Amino acid sequence: MGVTVNGRTKTLGVIGNPVEHTLSPVIHNELARVYNHNVVYLPYLVDGSVGDAIRGAYALHFGGLNVTVPHKTEVLQYVVEVDEFAKRIGAVNTLVPAEGGFKAYNTDIPGLYRGMLSDGVNMDGEDVMILGAGGAARSVAMLALDKGAKQVYILNRTVSKAEEIAKEINAYAGREFVTAMALTGYPKLSGKKYLCIQATSVGLYPKVEDVVIEDSEFYDMIHTGYDIIYNPYETRFMSLVKAHGGRAFNGLKMLLYQGIIAYELWNDISVSEEVAQQILGKMKEALGL
């Protein structure tokens, strides 16, 4: 590690349960090394009071904190301010020290978007399909609205969950922007090519053969597929998109850029694309890729 720990070293870290598999220390300690910042980033298991952990970190003058599963919503009660975009998403992952406590941000979703841009994919004017209707899917639908997508179709096993998201986002948008559907509903959408975001945990290691939709006709409709999963590096969803002539990307860049955006907030810098690629290399090394 590049940093010489001394009396001026600032502490950064991530709280979660579990935390032992996090790649965040790799991202942040490498950024600290590149920029010669006197900070260290450590994982903290929080399996008791989240409020105590947050208050403790603030009292200890932490330079910033990431928050991961399962604390991303609960933590909202213990901060002094919430960024506007994060409020709409309803989950936060980054805390920045402010007057009297932390201000909370969501960098996961801006991270996904920055990853897309770095792959040359934009949401502007796109017809978007989202698989799943959990927190991640809801956030992606909100991002699509923010970034000028033409329309969004949420396909989910439990249609009522997709309908709830559609209702909420359409009320916010003031128009029929999101349409909810069953997983079998996609034939109605044929005739166009879509940007499709796989926002479920289906296909995650060790169940690498699982995929939400198998049908070949579905994959013919996708020009670009994003999976929020990065383990395995190529999911079955991605393989199917590619086999049908589309481009496919995994969730590793989302993870990279959520970290980079957090680091930028904490240290008031902008990280170049060149450095981002360097950090991505370190992450792949850590994953044994």
Closer of 3 and 189 to ligand ATR (Cβ): 189
Closer of 133 and 229 to ligand ATR (Cβ): 133
Contact window for ligand ATR (CB under 6 A) among 9-17, 98-106, 168-176, 194-202: 194-202
Q: Does the footprint of ligand ATR cover residue 156 (CB under 6 A)?
A: yes
C-beta of residue 66 within 8 angstroms of C-beta of residue 57: no
Query: Taking the complex as a whole, how short is the minimal distance between the CB of residue 273 and ligand ATR, in angstroms?
Result: 28
Closer of 24 and 267 to ligand ATR (Cβ): 24
Closer of 26 and 202 to ligand ATR (Cβ): 202
How far apart CA 227 and CA 234 sit, in angstroms, is 9
Q: Which of 10, 72, 253, 282 is catalytic?
A: 72
Q: Report helix, strand and coil shares of the chain as percent, to nearest 5.
A: 40, 20, 40
| Catalytic-residue membership of 10 | no
Q: How many CA atoms lie within 13 A of 30 on its CB side?
A: 21
Residues 198-237 that bind ligand ATR (CB under 6 A): 200-202, 212
Q: Does the footprint of ligand ATR cover residue 161 (CB under 6 A)?
A: yes
* E strands, the chain, in order: 10-16, 39-45, 64-67, 81-82, 94-98, 101-105, 127-131, 151-156, 178-182, 194-198, 222-227, 247-249
Query: Taking the complex as a whole, how short is the minimal distance between the CB of residue 125 and ligand ATR, in angstroms?
Result: 26
Sheet holding 222-227, edge to edge: 178-182, 151-156, 127-131, 194-198, 222-227, 247-249
Closer of 163 and 234 to ligand ATR (Cβ): 163
| First-last CA distance in the chain | 21
Q: Which amino acid is at 97?
A: P
Residue nearest to ligand ATR (CB): 134
As to burial, measured by CB atoms within 10 angstroms (0-12 exposed, 13-18 middle, 19+ buried), residue 133 is buried
Closest-CA residue to 158 (of 205, 195, 109, 200): 200
Residues 124-153 that bind ligand ATR (CB under 6 A): 132-137
Q: Judged by CB under 6 A, how many residues of this single chain contact ligand ATR?
A: 14
Query: Taking the complex as a whole, how short is the minimal distance between the CB of residue 234 and ligand ATR, in angstroms?
Result: 19
Of 157, 223, 244, 284, the one binding ligand ATR (CB under 6 A) is 157
Which residues make up the interface to ligand ATR (CB under 6 A)?
132-137, 156-158, 161, 200-202, 212
**Residues taking part in catalysis:** 72
